[in-house]
Amino acid sequence: MPERGRARGAGGRVTVRVTLRGRVQGVGFRAWTVSLALGLGLDGWVRNRADGSVEAVFSGAGEAVSRALERMDVGPPGARVTGCEVRDERATPPSGFVQQPSL
């Protein structure tokens, strides 16, 4: 996996925004992402976008964010990720990880 940027926030937290392209809608990607993030102790959210992509924000310990990004490159069964863009995110999300309405 290529090296990805990491935003450092309060307390050494890492916060990134991820956009995934490919066969990422209609395959349970959002529910899978919520389960993944909660299992890793991450805060943030995930949502579908009108252009067919999935967007997520992950915030937490650097190692946990890195593990989430590695898994996002593959996704749940039935998904086919063809593009994964990761950007630093300035805003730290509230505690917990939620599925947001589609945009």
- What's residue 3's pLDDT? 38
Percent over 70 (pLDDT), the chain? 89
Whole-model pTM: value is 0.89
pLDDT of residue 12: 74
Could you read off the pLDDT of 59-93 as tens digits, one per residue? 999 999 999 999 999 999 999 999 999 999 999 99
- Please tell me the distance from the alpha carbon of residue 62 to that of residue 41, in angstroms, as a whole number: 11
The residue with greater pLDDT, 94 or 1, is 94
Confidence of residue 11 (pLDDT cuts 50, 70, 90): low
Architecture category of domain 10-88 in CATH:
2-Layer Sandwich (3.30)
Catalytic residue annotation: 30, 48
